[in-house]
Amino acid sequence: MVTIRYGPGFSETVGSIGGTTHQRSSAGPIIRTRTRTKCDRTTAQNIPLRLLPNGSCIWESTLTPTQRGTWNSLAALTTWTNRSGVSYTPSGRSLFLRHYVLWTYVGFAYRASSPAVADTPTPSWVMSVVGSFVTVSSFAGALYPAPTRVALWRSGELKPTINYPVATSVYLGTVVVTGPPAVPFNLISCASWPAARRYCIRLRVLELGNDPGPPVVSHNGTCSWQQRAFVDKP
């Protein structure tokens, strides 16, 4: 799906003409193709989708009004940006669901009450494959408290000459990093990866210090900071 940010004069356009649909959302007006191409989802993509109904049920039936109020209060201080560059304030329910899906997916308990606002710095991890490990050769821009937990995903095999941000859907696990770590250090083993080829790695910060929950507000307006990098497995 392609999203486009509207300029003045088009913000009220709603409806379809030809193969194009104009619609409005809580984040602003968007335009998309009328027919959406069906894509068979991977198991890793289906897991978060199956978690959404569970999270919605917990929001409605398990959380107390006070607990929902903490998420609503935090949401009022939060700014997200959609793919068309439009900034908006999410609902408390959306904030909770993003937290719930991420943390349940990686195997940790969700938080009933919202965490404190955490504005993560903008770190830079330079990753490469050395031997049978993904190794961090440079780490700058952040002083992480101990422990800091990060989650890792990898893509399928890429063509050697193409760096395209394909889905990083193979979940590799979580790693606790004490910051600032000495470099170089081994982040995770790649011995079981299927072939000697280029891969895309996605690293996502899940936990800062002793606060057992992900940062909900980060420097780029998402629920937690993440970085993608391409590595070549020899």
Q: What is the pLDDT of residue 59?
A: 96
Q: What is the pLDDT of residue 146?
A: 66
Handedness of CA 110, 112, 114, 115 (dihedral sign): negative
Q: What is the pLDDT of residue 66?
A: 96
Q: Residue 173: enclosing H or E segment and its boundaries? A: strand 170-177
Q: What is the pLDDT of residue 219?
A: 46
CATH architecture of the domain formed by 124-232: Sandwich (2.60)
Q: What is the pLDDT of residue 9?
A: 62
d(CA 179, CA 196): 31
| Residue partners of 22: CB distance under 8 A and separation at least 6 | 10, 13, 14, 15, 16, 29, 30, 31
Q: Is 35 exposed, middle or buried (0-12, 13-18, 19+ CB in 10 A)?
A: exposed
Q: What is the pLDDT of residue 135?
A: 92
Q: What is the pLDDT of residue 64?
A: 96
Task: Spell out, as residue ranges, where the chain has pLDDT lower than 50.
Answer: 1, 219-221
State pTM to two decimals. 0.69
User: Domain extents for the chain?
Assistant: 1-38, 43-105, 124-232
Q: What is the pLDDT of residue 165?
A: 57
Q: What is the pLDDT of residue 224?
A: 63
Q: Are 87 and 108 in contact (CB under 8 A)?
A: no
Q: What is the pLDDT of residue 121?
A: 62
Q: What is the pLDDT of residue 160?
A: 64
